[in-house]
Amino acid sequence: MRTKRALKNLFFNLLQQFSLILSNFIMQPILVSRFGSSINGLVSTIKQLMSYVQLTGAGISSASTFAMYKPVADNDYKKLSGIYTATAKMFFKAGNVFTIITLIVAIIYPFTIKSNLNYFMIFGLIIVMSVCGASEFYASGKLRSILIANQDNYIVDISQIIGNVSTILILILLVSLKQNIVIVELGISITYILRILFMYVYVSKKYTYLDLSIKPLFSEINQRGDAVVHQISGLVVMGSSTLIISILLGLEEASIYSVYSVVFNGINVLCSSFSNAIYSAFGELISKNEQKTLQSSYDTYEYIYFIMISIVYSCTYILIMPFIKLYTANMNDVNYYLPILALLFIIVGVGNNLRIPANTIVTGAGHFRETKIYAIIEMIINLLAQIILGYFWGLYGVIFGSIISYIFRTIQFIYYANKKIIKRRSIISALRIIINVCTSVVICKIIEILRIIEINNYFEWVYNGFIIFFITAVLILFINFIFDRKAFSKCLSIIKSLI
């Protein structure tokens, strides 16, 4: 039952991530060709600014979802209703603070950037783009928490698919009508209403046992303060680069970063879809103290995940620059063809994804308090390294600063998850990483030396992509079979049981 539910969530999460990737890929060239790299850099920076302002509600979603796991498992609807109403009130209060801070940011931020853009245009753009955050606080946050706690993640994903598809249609329509960037972003903001309506209708019909008149149980959401630390740290580590680049280097450099970010974020979200679909299942296992099942499930999950990212990033290394050349063919105001930057992004992506299995289990276990000190250390390392190295080495320095912080936290995550939650030796994870990384490097170098691909258009890119994927998948699967036949056989057994 858990496996089938996880697969259902995984399917819709992959579909949602695909629609998001497609949406972002289409948006970037349209924005750059229609409005220029400076506007594109500004839009990317404002999105990041809004993410920081949304920290007014940091930790509510993570802590409330974790608090709901046990009452969901026990069918304790009264307690679940109390946690749900508490979640709604906490989000609403945070939303009021978000609105005030957004106004302050909209007034001040236009003075802080190196740009000739109109003050009121930047002000209006910030206000319009804040609709996303406002919808989170005033409506979608509480709905998403109850859905994830019930392992109905696929409903959240369907709502986002609706929003992603609507975003592209509205963007194309408004750009074809030659509307300015503020009107375009205003139109895109309307899509959040569609997402909210879809989730609201489902929750109202499915969870009829929710009693909104029950007194809010704020005391049950007792790890919010610790979850806040993790959310702030995660946002700083994953998203501070755009803001730092826009301030230190300017909006055009921020645009270059955003183009590469779109590509690599697309890869990252596809990889993380696997964890997003199953972390609530791990939460259920932990709440029921099913340790043996937890150990077995995690071992299989980690084994599959490491193989997956090895295949994905091997293909990425070989195919990324031909893609960038095609993708930025009509972006002529700035040089986007930077192979060294692509390599650094690959290292960042690998470093980020190696921690995902351990991060999934830590989140599922709700170990926010126990690990918050490491989140703080990572955040400090990340900020200092990015600012210092970015000042001396520009764009490359900022990315290298991220790599330094990822190395620290990935090692810590793997050690903590294995020792404190899974109760096994960390050397198992370490050996799997070494095997897969070494295999990927050797495969990439051989293909690079042989120069077996030639790409001049998107059709050739897709065609060669399938060939490269097949070669790398076969070789990486074979090597993993040789070194860990037991785990490989277990994966095959799971696949056979599902067919």
- pLDDT tens digits, 123-146: 999 999 888 778 878 888 888 888
Cα dihedral value 49, 54, 58, 60, nearest 10: -160
Report the alpha-carbon distance of residue 111 to residue 353 in Å, rounded.
37
| Percentage of residues in the chain having pLDDT higher than 70 | 89
Q: Are 249 and 240 in contact (CB under 8 A)?
A: no
What was the pLDDT predicted at 62?
A: 73
Q: How many domains does the chain have?
A: 2
Verify that 97 and 180 share a domain, yes or no: yes
Exposed/middle/buried for residue 406 (C-beta within 10 Å: 0-12, 13-18, 19+) = buried
Report the alpha-carbon distance of residue 271 to residue 190 in Å, rounded.
29
Residue 424 in this model has a pLDDT that exceeds 80: yes
Q: Are 462 and 319 in contact (CB under 8 A)?
A: no
Residue 278 in this model has a pLDDT that exceeds 60: no
For the chain, the average pLDDT equals 84
Verify that 245 and 215 share a domain, yes or no: no
What was the pLDDT predicted at 290?
A: 64
Report the alpha-carbon distance of residue 377 to residue 122 in Å, rounded.
34
Decide which of 172, 192, 222 is a domain's last residue.
Answer: 222
Residue 274 in this model has a pLDDT that exceeds 70: no
Decide which of 191, 222, 253 is a domain's last residue.
Answer: 222
C-alpha distances out from residue 21 to 15, 347, 391, Å? 10, 20, 31
User: 319: Cβ–Cβ under 8 A, 6 or more apart, which residues?
Assistant: 455, 461, 464, 465, 468
Report the alpha-carbon distance of residue 387 to residue 390 in Å, rounded.
5
What was the pLDDT predicted at 184?
A: 92
- Cα 73–Cα 4–Cα 301 angle in degrees, nearest 5: 90
- pTM of the entire predicted model: 0.74
What was the pLDDT predicted at 447?
A: 87
* pLDDT tier at 403, thresholds 50, 70, 90: very high
- C-alpha closest to that of 301 among 39, 5, 6: 6
Decide which of 179, 194, 222 is a domain's last residue.
Answer: 222
Average pLDDT over residues 431-450: 92
Report the alpha-carbon distance of residue 241 to residue 5 in Å, rounded.
36
Q: Can you list the positions of beta strands (E) in 372-469? A: none
User: 102: Cβ–Cβ under 8 A, 6 or more apart, which residues?
Assistant: 50, 53, 126, 127, 130, 133
* pLDDT tier at 55, thresholds 50, 70, 90: low
Structure confidence by residue, pLDDT tens digits, 351-390:
888 988 888 888 777 777 788 888 889 889 999 999 999 9
- How far, rounded to the nearest angstrom, does the alpha carbon of residue 57 sit from its chain's CA centroid? 18
* pLDDT tier at 397, thresholds 50, 70, 90: very high
Verify that 382 and 471 share a domain, yes or no: yes
Report the alpha-carbon distance of residue 215 to residue 381 in Å, rounded.
42
* pLDDT tier at 275, thresholds 50, 70, 90: low
What type of residue sits at position 352?
N
What was the pLDDT predicted at 225?
A: 60
Q: Are 220 and 156 in contact (CB under 8 A)?
A: no
Verify that 143 and 269 share a domain, yes or no: no
Verify that 230 and 153 share a domain, yes or no: no
Verify that 125 and 205 share a domain, yes or no: yes
What type of residue sits at position 189?
S
Verify that 312 and 178 share a domain, yes or no: no
Domain holding 459, by residue range, is 223-499
What was the pLDDT predicted at 289?
A: 61
Verify that 390 and 346 share a domain, yes or no: yes
Average pLDDT over residues 83-103: 86
Place of tokens 């940011």: 105
Which three-class secondary structure string do you get for 349-364? Answer: HHHHHHCHHHHHHHHH
Verify that 329 and 297 share a domain, yes or no: yes
Report the alpha-carbon distance of residue 404 to residue 236 in Å, rounded.
14
Higher-pLDDT residue of 224 and 382 is 382
Residue 22 in this model has a pLDDT that exceeds 80: yes
- Cα 164–Cα 168–Cα 174 angle in degrees, nearest 5: 140
Report the alpha-carbon distance of residue 27 to residue 152 in Å, rounded.
29
Higher-pLDDT residue of 98 and 393 is 393
Average pLDDT over residues 259-268: 82
Among 3-7, 24-28, 219-223, name the most confident range.
24-28
Structure confidence by residue, pLDDT tens digits, 139-197:
888 888 888 888 888 898 899 899 899 999 999 999 999 898 899 999 988 888 888 89
Verify that 418 and 458 share a domain, yes or no: yes
Verify that 233 and 217 share a domain, yes or no: no
Residue 39 in this model has a pLDDT that exceeds 80: yes
Verify that 81 and 201 share a domain, yes or no: yes
Higher-pLDDT residue of 6 and 474 is 474
Report the alpha-carbon distance of residue 109 to residue 246 in Å, rounded.
12
Q: Long-range contacts of range 286-290, CB-CB < 8 Å, 24 or more positions apart?
A: 286/364, 286/365, 286/366, 286/421, 287/69, 287/70, 287/73, 288/73
What was the pLDDT predicted at 474?
A: 95
Q: Are 71 and 221 in contact (CB under 8 A)?
A: no
| Percentage of residues in the chain having pLDDT higher than 90 | 24
- C-alpha closest to that of 261 among 30, 28, 426, 420: 28
Place of tokens 């009121």: 120
